[in-house]
């Protein structure tokens, strides 16, 4: 579960990690009241679970309460990379003397924990790693021994005052069962205080039973609608909607779509069941995404045979009616009873359906159709 910045900073406060004073507002009047209580210049920050807020105009300075109200009115409702800002964080403006980067994360490739710290903060860590790889310190963390803040700060060129904050960030990660704790920037102020100006935290959903976390926010978006239907769906930013049976097959399908020159619009795993209702639900969710220009259904028949899948697709399109003909649907069936499944689709003669027998060929056709070719 990803946290909003204001939620991450509430977590930081619980672990004595310094953050600017502030509060969250859902309307301009609340933003004005928070700024008036702070009685100092503030920053109004869009609360969305994506990066690039500053470049998109979602972070705005305000010298006082009236300006905070005006800036909140501009930011609220703003779309940033497909995420709508429904609240803003209003916090005291902090003048940094130096900016750093600090993160602790689960390193799945190494099967352990990793610390990443840099004396160059305030920009994408990917950019630092690409242009100045020597500036990003990567250090495995022994979960039993913990973090030596002085050693980590010294290697990255951070002041000694940052050592305790680094150790607290690690302890917060362990205590909260987090997969990621990131601060960019972690700053040293002009009066030599170390403050977390931003916060990104991902919690491990599997550890929810040990905590009293607030449930994930329900925004009525596609992911919420898919979850309500019992679908394993993740929205992405491309134009090719993807449906598959099995997480591994879906991940492979995303790769071949990308290799074909298109960007996938989603991850959607229908699992072993491919009934008409499951397919209808999946297609309805994908076709509700205005960015989708073509749908790719990639199924390998196993326990659920391809003829059952094909019957489900035909039934789903019958349920969807005109919505099912709005965009082309490329179908690749292979495995158990594939020939029977292909015959069912051919006999249905649905105007939106195109059949391709290979995975690469299906991805290439879907990419061309998404591009309007």
- Checking if the pLDDT of 113 tops 70, the result is yes
- Give the Cα separation of 363 and 356 in Å (integer): 9
Which tokens belong to 139? Answer: 């250090």
pLDDT value for 225: 84
4 Cβ contact partners less than 8 Å away, ≥ 6 residues apart: 47, 48, 49, 87, 217
Closest CA to 75 of 40, 41, 118, 30: 30
pLDDT tens digit string along 65-76?
Answer: 999 999 999 999
Per the residue annotation, which of 69, 182, 284, 364 is the catalytic one?
A: 182
For residue 277, name the pLDDT band (cuts at 50, 70, 90).
Answer: confident
Whether residue 182 lies in the annotated active site: yes
Whether residue 100 lies in the annotated active site: no
Mean pLDDT value of segment 246-251:
90
Per the residue annotation, which of 4, 6, 101, 233 is the catalytic one?
A: 101
- Give the Cα separation of 126 and 133 in Å (integer): 9
pLDDT value for 368: 96
Closest CA to 145 of 164, 109, 163, 171: 171
pTM: 0.68
pLDDT value for 134: 82
pLDDT tens digit string along 284-323?
Answer: 899 888 889 999 999 998 877 888 889 888 988 888 888 8
pLDDT value for 347: 96
pLDDT value for 110: 87
Q: What angle do CA 107, 105, 195 make, to 5 degrees?
A: 155
For residue 365, name the pLDDT band (cuts at 50, 70, 90).
Answer: very high
CB atoms within 10 A of CB 79: 12
DSSP line for 80-134? ETTEE---EEEEE---EEEEEEEEEEEETTTTEEEEEEES--SS-HHHHHHH-GG
Closest CA to 266 of 275, 253, 278, 276: 253
pLDDT tens digit string along 33-62?
Answer: 999 999 999 999 999 988 889 889 999 999
pLDDT tens digit string along 164-175?
Answer: 999 999 999 999
For residue 206, name the pLDDT band (cuts at 50, 70, 90).
Answer: confident
Helix H or strand E segment including 266: strand 266-269
- Give the Cα separation of 62 and 41 in Å (integer): 6
Domains of the chain: 21-92 (3.30.1490.20), 96-210 (3.30.470.20), 222-370 (3.40.50.261)
> What is the per-residue burial (b if ≥16 Cβ within 10 Å, else e) of 88-103?
bbbbbebebebbbbbb
Mean of per-residue pLDDT scores for the chain: 90
């Amino acid at each position: 579960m990803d946290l909003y910045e204001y939620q991450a900073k509430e977590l930081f406060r619980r672990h004595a990690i310094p953050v600017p004073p502030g509060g969250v507002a859902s309307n301009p009047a609340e933003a004005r009241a928070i700024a008036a209580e702070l009685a100092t210049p503030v920053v109004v920050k869009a609360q969305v679970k994506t990066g690039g807020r500053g470049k998109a105009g979602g972070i705005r300075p305000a010298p006082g309460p009236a300006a905070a109200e005006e800036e909140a009115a501009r930011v609220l409702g703003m779309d940033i990379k497909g995420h709508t800002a429904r609240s803003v964080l209003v916090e005291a403006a902090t003048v940094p003397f130096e900016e750093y980067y600090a993160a602790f994360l689960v390193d799945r490739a190494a099967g352990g924990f990793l610390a990443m710290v840099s004396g160059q903060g305030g920009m994408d860590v990917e950019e630092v790693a690409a242009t100045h790889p020597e500036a990003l310190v990567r250090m495995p963390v022994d979960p039993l021994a913990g973090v030596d803040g002085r050693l980590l700060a010294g290697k990255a060129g951070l002041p000694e005052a940052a050592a305790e904050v680094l150790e607290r960030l690690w302890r917060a990660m362990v205590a909260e069962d987090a997969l990621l704790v990131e601060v960019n920037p972690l700053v040293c102020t002009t009066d030599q205080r170390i403050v977390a100006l931003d916060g990104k935290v991902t919690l491990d959903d599997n550890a929810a039973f040990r905590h009293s976390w607030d449930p994930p926010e329900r925004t009525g978006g596609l992911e919420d609608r898919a979850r309500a239907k019992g679908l394993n769906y993740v929205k992405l930013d491309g134009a090719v909607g993807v449906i598959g049976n099995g997480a591994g097959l879906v991940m492979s399908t995303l790769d071949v779509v990308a290799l074909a020159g298109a960007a996938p619009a989603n991850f959607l795993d229908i699992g072993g069941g491919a009934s008409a209702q499951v397919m209808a639900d999946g297609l309805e969710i994908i076709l509700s995404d205005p960015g989708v220009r073509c749908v790719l259904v990639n199924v390998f028949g196993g326990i659920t045979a391809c003829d059952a899948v094909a019957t489900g697709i035909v039934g789903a399109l019958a349920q969807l009616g005109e919505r099912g003909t709005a965009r082309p649907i490329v179908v690749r069936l292979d495995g158990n009873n594939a020939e029977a499944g292909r015959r069912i689709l051919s006999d249905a003669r649905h105007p939106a359906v195109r059949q391709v027998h290979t995975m690469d060929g299906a991805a290439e056709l879907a990419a061309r159709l998404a591009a309007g070719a």
